[in-house]
Structure 1
Amino acid sequence: MSSSTNPFQPGAATVEAAVSVAAATPARRKSVLRMLLSDVGACIALAIVVLAVFAAVFAPWLAPTDPYGNDLANMLKPPGEAGLLGADGQGRNMITRLLFGLRTTLLMGSVSVLVGCLIGGIIGFTAAYYPIVSGVLMRLMDVLLSFPAILFGLAIAAIFGPGLTAVIIALSIATVPLMARVVRGSALVVLQQGYIEAARSLGLSDLRIIMRYVLPNCLSALFVFVTLRFGQVILLGAALSFLGLGAQPPTAELGAMAADGRNFLFFAPHVSVLPSLLIFAVVLAFNVLGDVLRDALDPKLRK
């Protein structure tokens, strides 16, 4: 798109320019979809993500046995002797445990990303639209960025006790400053465009300008961030559970399952290796999908 027709150039000083962008959105979506489908790695990653979400949602119907029912007669039996993937240290079917562990892990990641992105997005838009509070808000975000997520998990577990709630709170807090910085940077670019001044001159409220013009033009960056962050949150959540700060027995969670199996690593490696491989596959799929989305949504990288 040339500079003479691009509504995002400084010379486009009308609200109609933003409308033309919205009208061109379906064509852009088709272009992004074509690019995703033409990339073999993206197709595989998307298939893994869809399959993981499907398995997590329908885990109660797909699981062959009770995820919490012990069967000591099958304790630590290898794949093939006690089901397709064997049994864990309590004789529980590994397929069932993996399905429910994936369900817990994805739920933990979804809630953490949703809460963190919602709070971070509000802070980011506020800092971008109101420069008077930008300095205070972003310095606060810098303070939060200086603390690792593992440290947040340790601190919150010490206050509330170990469990999924502590992990979700820690990961949500760790996501807030990252989201705030991404949103603020994207919003500042949009707020410099001429059609924002035109919208202000028409007397539109700040909230309406943000929701109608600023937010839609920041969605590309937000989609990429959420996709990449989701993989990071799953990995961090699994690490916290591996350390004993997350899901507590007998709750099935991939990180906790990997930790439980480390005691049997030499004579029953499947107990620890299978949940670790599942974590690896899901995180890698989200990372690949995020990279491809970034390339597809960025005009410079797409060229």
Structure 2
Amino acid sequence: MFGSLLGAVELGLLYALMALGVYITFRILDFPDLTVDGSFVTGGAIASIMISHGHNPVLACLAAFAGGLAAGACTGILHTKGKVNGLLSGILIMIALYSINLRIMGRPNISLIGDNTLFSSISPLWLMAIVVVIVKLLLDLFLHTDLGLALRATGDNARMIRSLGANTDNTTIFGISLANGLVALSGALIAQQAGYADINMGVGMIVTGLASVIIGEAIFGARSVFFATLAAVLGSIVYRIVVALALRVEWLKASDLKLITAIIVIVALVLPSAQRVYKQKNMAKKRSAELLSTATLQKNGGDR
């Protein structure tokens, strides 16, 4: 039991970078980016092919990050300059990346067993804890710079930012690029931890990322940038723990993972709304009772 929970925490940290990427597009830019399913594989494909050819794992991770930046830039340019719907532009690039990833890999999967990876001499748990903390803090610092503030403002009210002379197209492209760069880096790390890269390893990644962000915000809150990014990281870990516990249920199988993910996201989305409605109803009942009590007192006072 303890071993499976430790493995869940390790996986949560590995996927935390992807959750941070999804947080940028989903929460900051309010952009429905489906490029994630393709750029995740791009990162794993680039890192795997470079490592299998004897390149340094750190260099492979940097190249994977650059590949993700390029994929995100394509989506951003298609949306802003090509005036294509955001959802559709993400889908189109995701489809294109399937063929591109196959070109990069040369075959549907690449094994890294026996090759030197980042995790050959150090535990993924400890290394990823350090990497995630560094990336999270760097992202926090960036979001407080002028460019970061422009990025946040673009997601909140693009029309107002344009009226102040800012180029929202450039900030949108940059934000989507950065998000997919983090997603691709997560894919590169996952491939090294798993010991292989597969063309289908990115299926459903956007749902996983959304689950991490939503669960994190529901449990830990998002009252500032620091806490919002922390919630995305912790949400990724909590999500993996929930999945690990769910898979221990006898009547659930490993093949039910996507179903479990969908159910978790549905609950995380519906529960806050249900709680809000419940609180509003209670407040309305309380207010009605107060008004009725006041009216009764006034009536009694008038009768006297």
Please, what TM-score do these two structures have when normalized by structure 1?
Answer: 0.27
Higher relative contact order (CA 8 A, sep 6+): 2
Please, what TM-score do these two structures have when normalized by structure 2?
Answer: 0.27
